[in-house]
A = this chain, B = another copy of it.
Amino acid sequence: MTSVFDLLKKHLAQHIRFDDVQFEVFCKRFKVKQTSRNEILLFGSEICPYMYFVNRGCLRIYMLDEAGRESTRFFVFEGKFGTAFPSFILQEPSMAYIQSLEPSELLYINYPDLQELINKFPNFEKAYLINLEMEYISSIKRIESLISMDANSRYQLLLKDSPALIKRLPSKIIADYLGISQETLSRLKSKK
């Protein structure tokens, strides 16, 4: 029998051991939400209440300046946790927005409940820690690509690491993520 928690179970099982009774306790802290395309889940300057786990679809964490220009910080795809992390952890107003780019199915947990799972269950804490290490590594790689690569190298890296992403997301969003114009992106795509 399939359950809305299957993908979460698979994700946690990569990192830790747990039994069904324990997993039941974990699941009780998560709620389920269906979102529509381009739905905004968090507006800038709000305090981010939730950590999300993507069952289906895709989240985008982005910033919006006063001139209405968007800058994409990260994407979060199926089987991954994600949120406006600084706001969620520090419980202070967010610099970033969260949007579901596609119709999505999300699990979400609030800050006190996540802290309780971390503090009560050493194996859950371990899974959270390993997940954090991997997300931190991703963010370092994003910094590296931003400081040391030109548009073409950034595009080639994305093509190598996340080819599905390029097919799946609108060109406007990918160009913004790479920090280049849509025209430059089209040129790079056609050169391939």
Contact = CB atoms under 8 A, between A and B. Distances in A.
Interface in A116-153: 118, 122, 125, 128-129, 132-133, 135-137, 139-144, 146-148
Contacts of A129: 118, 125, 128-129, 132
Contacts of A133: 89, 132
Nearest to A178: B147
B71 A148 contact: yes
B72 A136 contact: no
A179 interface: yes
Interface residues on A, range: 20 to 34
Interface in A147-189: 147-148, 179
B147 A71 contact: yes
A135 B17 CA distance: 27
A90 interface: yes
Given A72-B147, A129-B129, 19 more contacts: A63-B147, A63-B148, A71-B147, A73-B143, A73-B147, A85-B136, A85-B140, A86-B141, A118-B129, A122-B122, A125-B129, A128-B129, A129-B132, A132-B132, A136-B139, A139-B140, A143-B143, A146-B146, A146-B147
Nearest to A179: B147
